[in-house]
């Protein structure tokens, strides 16, 4: 396994462990065991646990954003593109491993201790807002619609995580449809 593979492998495994059980609950010794690398090599690849956490969050952001964009690109018309976000959530919530938004979890766990984690979380959510705002603008809708749709998506993520049920995605999608129809110009 070359260094790049090892680097990526550590991040993948750490992501799974942190997401399943929380960041503080996973120690470096356990991570070392799961990736099957000497502790020394782990510290050669990353200077600290914090660096691994940041790498995990950055990867999460990239994957999440790319997956969302694909759903949007696959949608035909502006209304469908806006609703695509909730289809993306539905797919996500249906995964066995779903346990809420990793950023929200990390923020709740360490946001008050680590300005870096708080900032990464803020940036992640802000980027989602920007995606929605752009779609709303492209569709000629009321600028207020973007943040409203974002609230539904955020609420669905926490609700699905806490309730353990994926139905929040459909509820959010239905509500979004109503908000869109009320604030987007009817298609000619």
Residues at the interface with DNA (CB under 7 A) = 24, 26-30, 38-41, 43, 48-50
Is the CB of residue 103 less than 8 Å from the CB of residue 125? yes
Residue 184 touches which of DNA, its own copies, none (CB < 5 to 8 A by kind)?
Answer: none
CA-based nearest residue to 104, from 51, 163, 59, 61: 61
**Residue 22: left if φ>0, alpha if ψ -120 to 50, beta else—which one?**
left
Map tokens 């994926």 to a residue.
166
Q: Which is nearer to its own copies, 45 or 179 (CB)?
A: 179
The one among 14, 37, 132, 179 contacting its own copies by CB under 8 A? 179
The three-class DSSP label of residue 96 is: coil
Question: What, of its own copies, DNA, none, does residue 82 touch, CB below 5 to 8 Å by kind?
Answer: none
Binding piece for its own copies, criterion CB under 8 A, among 30-38, 52-60, 70-78, 112-120: 112-120
Q: How many residues bind its own copies (CB under 8 A)?
A: 50
């Amino acid at each position: 396994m070359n260094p790049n593979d090892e680097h990526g492998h550590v991040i993948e495994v750490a992501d799974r462990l942190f997401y399943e059980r929380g960041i503080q609950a996973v120690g470096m010794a356990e991570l070392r065991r799961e990736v099957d690398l000497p502790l020394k090599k782990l510290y050669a690849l990353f200077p600290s646990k914090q660096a691994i956490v940041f790498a995990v969050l950055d990867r999460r952001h990239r994957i999440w954003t790319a997956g969302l964009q694909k759903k949007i690109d696959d949608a035909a018309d502006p209304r469908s593109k806006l609703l695509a976000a909730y289809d993306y959530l539905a797919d996500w919530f249906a995964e066995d491993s779903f346990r809420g938004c990793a950023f929200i979890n990390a923020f709740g766990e360490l946001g008050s201790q680590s300005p870096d984690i708080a900032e990464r979380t803020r940036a992640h959510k802000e980027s989602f807002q920007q995606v929605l705002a752009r779609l709303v603008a492209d569709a000629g809708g009321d600028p207020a619609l973007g943040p409203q749709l974002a609230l539904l998506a955020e609420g669905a993520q926490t609700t699905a995580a806490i309730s353990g049920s994926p139905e929040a995605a459909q509820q959010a999608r239905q509500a979004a449809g109503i908000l869109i129809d009320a604030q987007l110009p009817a298609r000619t």
